Structure 1
Amino acid sequence: MVQLRSDLLTPALQRGDEVITVAASSALEDEQSLLEGLKVLEEWGLVCRSQQVSERRWGYLAGNDASRQRDLNPESPAALLACARGGWGAARLLEHKQTWQPGWLMGFSDVTALLWARLAAGFDGCVHGPLLTTLAKEPAWSQARLHDLLFGKQIPDLEGQPWMGGVASGPLVVANLTVASHLLGSSHVPDLNGAILILEDVEEAPYRIDRMLTHWRLAGLLQRLAGLGFGSFKRCEAPEQIPGDQTFQLEEVLKERSTDLGIPVVGKLPVGHCCGNAALPLGRQAQLDGSHGRLILLR
């Protein structure tokens, strides 16, 4: 079971705390959306250090591994490391020993690799939530939720669809399914025993989602969970040219691969590549109510 180090619990942000932009994945394609995201944080009273990532590029990545590594491990730490965008590249940094620093790390999608590695090392402060390039486009409730989570205020329950009844509690783990699947077998996977796992993805055909979830089942990982939730699976529908009676639809795959596990299952949570993308703190205690389709943070 995930165990957060008690000496590394992350204090709530305060006005005047500093933010560093982390570009650990794909090269930035839209500087305006990045600046708009930074403006949201500044309106919350945070101080955003000058970012040098907008023009940085190495092939399809936001700079070479060394430059992206410096974003993640700055010489002068800040209270919040806010990831610019997803794509691909974060997992490459895990080939090198990480000197994780206390504080908050925020992002989703490809940032799953960093959130999971940090959580596996026992560090608190991992937030699966908006990227800087998506933050300004989030609806008001999602922005308010992220603000309240970072600033130590209570956040509301999340409502989804009840797929398999029962109630379970455990440490919360959230991930992009594809990114997390490519971490399996490494030392960067947090202990999933007794966890509440929430998965999301984008642009993956149902048969590929089936393949990944089957991988997790064969590894015995889904069988160890206390509860399982599914967020947004955006543009993951079966190809239109395949007749409906010759394929499986997304929801059929998710239910068939999960509802026989004997644990609560909730679908359609507002988490992932959707608007809004509800912020969730990894490693914190949560309760999943499969009878009412609800995810509740306990502390």
Structure 2
Amino acid sequence: MRRRFPPPLRPGDVVAVVAPAGPVEPDRLARGLSRLSSAGFVPETAEGLLAKDGFLAGDDAHRAAQLQWALSLPGARAVMAARGGYGTARLMPLVDWRRASRRPRLFVGYSDVTAILAYLSTRLGIPAIHGPMAAADLALRPDPASFDAFLRLAGGRTSPGEPWGPPCDRLRGGAAEGILSGGCLSVLTSLLGTPFEPDFRGALLFLEDVSEPAYRLDRMLTQWIQAGKLRRIAGILAGRISPVRGETAEGIRRVFAEAGKRLSVPVWCGFPAGHGRTNFPLPFGVRARIDTQGRLFLLESPVAGT
């Protein structure tokens, strides 16, 4: 698959903000937009961004129109989701992805937006960033180190010789190298058997989730394994998944270690990205390596010309 790298994000560039999933709270959105502006960007919001239709930010046609607008907006260098929740997968058949990919731009988000990140990076060959969302991280839990890392990543200011994020804990095996991919496990699992199912061949697979007991994490991993979709992954990198009440972090670690054993691949855990207290950005669709000391190295930039 030929990859197409979006241009780097620089101060003064337009960032289109969309709501492909759950409804957005106005105060949170305002705080997030202010933070984008303070970083030197020009945020533009989709028309009807604050719409609400039950647990969705407007009906499917409305949200799909927002997404198509953002992916085609002249001058926009990046598209950032306002928040996650639920509903992104419902939009996937309604968007003209081929048209939108003619001039790729950097897509940023996580959680339910995993559906878009996975499709762009594994099916269309367009790198994306598993990172902050305007009315979530940027409004609710400002983390200067993670936001600075996002700015460097989106701007193409990373080095292959520099460890990315803190070291992880080894659960099984040794070093691994592959195309960094993945996201929220429950969202990824919902895509199995659809035209938007991600292709994880050769992947260094990052997985995270929230409010999922160990048995459900195991059930989802088992579905992927028994479907034969993880046979050719290079390794697993698990995020910091908080245990539900009555369970322990060790129980979650065991689930991922056993999945790695079934797949005969290395497993690392504890990378601070996703729904935890820290959401350190990760580029999907680029080569990365984790060494025997648990240090992650980005071997490529997610943006062109760097």
**TM-score, normalising length from structure 1?**
0.89
Q: Which amino acid aligns with 2:22?
A: S
SS of the aligned residue for 1:172 comes to strand
In structure 2, the CA distance between the partners of 1:45 and 1:171, relative to structure 1 (3 Å rule), is: same
Q: Which amino acid aligns with 2:73?
A: S
Pick one of 69, 88, 91 that aligns with 2:89: 91
SS of the aligned residue for 1:220 comes to coil
Q: CA separation in 1, counterparts of 2:272 and 2:205?
A: 14
What residue number does 1:13 align with? Answer: 9
Percent identity, aligned pairs only? 36
Moved over 6 A (4+): none
What residue number does 1:135 align with? Answer: 138
Task: Measure how far apart 1:76 and its partner are.
Answer: 2.7
Task: Measure how far apart 1:282 and its partner are.
Answer: 0.9
Contact 2:64 / 2:94 at 8 angstroms: preserved in 1? Answer: no
Task: Measure how far apart 1:108 and its partner are.
Answer: 0.3
Q: CA separation in 2, counterparts of 1:212 and 1:27?
A: 27
1:128-181 residue CA offsets vs partner (Å, 9 max, x unmatched):
111112124231110100011111101642321111232221111021000000
Contact 2:146 / 2:279 at 8 angstroms: preserved in 1? Answer: yes
In structure 2, the CA distance between the partners of 1:139 and 1:76, relative to structure 1 (3 Å rule), is: closer
Pick one of 257, 262, 270 that aligns with 1:255: 257
In structure 2, the CA distance between the partners of 1:96 and 1:54, relative to structure 1 (3 Å rule), is: closer
Contact 2:204 / 2:288 at 8 angstroms: preserved in 1? Answer: yes
Contact 1:117 / 1:188 at 8 angstroms: preserved in 2? Answer: yes
Pick one of 269, 272, 275 that aligns with 2:271: 269
Tell me, yes or no, if structure 1 residue 157 matches structure 2 residue 164: yes
1:173-202 residue CA offsets vs partner (Å, 9 max, x unmatched):
021000000101222233211110000000
SS of the aligned residue for 1:233 comes to coil
Q: CA separation in 1, counterparts of 2:127 and 2:233?
A: 22
Tell me, yes or no, if structure 1 residue 194 matches structure 2 residue 202: yes
In structure 2, the CA distance between the partners of 1:37 and 1:125, relative to structure 1 (3 Å rule), is: farther
Tell me, yes or no, if structure 1 residue 56 matches structure 2 residue 47: no
Q: CA separation in 1, counterparts of 2:181 and 2:73?
A: 29
Gaps (5+ residues) in structure 2? 301-306
Q: CA separation in 2, counterparts of 1:138 and 1:224?
A: 37
Gaps (5+ residues) in structure 1? none
1:223-280 residue CA offsets vs partner (Å, 9 max, x unmatched):
311111100213x33x43x8x9xxx922222222223432221111111101221111
Contact 2:209 / 2:274 at 8 angstroms: preserved in 1? Answer: yes
| Segment drifting more, 260-269 vs 14-23 | 260-269
Pick one of 223, 231, 244 that aligns with 1:223: 231
What residue number does 1:232 align with? Answer: 240
Q: CA separation in 2, counterparts of 1:124 and 1:165?
A: 30
Q: Which amino acid aligns with 1:288?
A: I
Contact 1:138 / 1:277 at 8 angstroms: preserved in 2? Answer: no
Q: CA separation in 1, counterparts of 2:45 and 2:259?
A: 46
Q: CA separation in 2, counterparts of 1:126 and 1:217?
A: 25
What residue number does 2:149 align with? Answer: 145
Q: Which amino acid aligns with 2:52?
A: R
Q: CA separation in 2, counterparts of 1:132 and 1:34?
A: 6
| Segment drifting more, 201-210 vs 127-136 | 127-136
| Segment drifting more, 265-274 vs 153-162 | 153-162
| Segment drifting more, 183-192 vs 270-279 | 183-192
Tell me, yes or no, if structure 1 residue 180 matches structure 2 residue 198: no
What residue number does 1:76 align with? Answer: 73
Q: Which amino acid aligns with 2:296?
A: L
Q: CA RMSD in A?
A: 2.0
Contact 2:201 / 2:230 at 8 angstroms: preserved in 1? Answer: no
What residue number does 2:282 align with? Answer: 280
In structure 2, the CA distance between the partners of 1:50 and 1:211, relative to structure 1 (3 Å rule), is: closer
Contact 2:234 / 2:265 at 8 angstroms: preserved in 1? Answer: yes
What residue number does 2:220 align with? Answer: 212
1:87-115 residue CA offsets vs partner (Å, 9 max, x unmatched):
10000001224333410111000000111
Contact 1:266 / 1:294 at 8 angstroms: preserved in 2? Answer: no
Aligned length: 286
**TM-score, normalising length from structure 2?**
0.87
| Segment drifting more, 145-154 vs 90-99 | 90-99
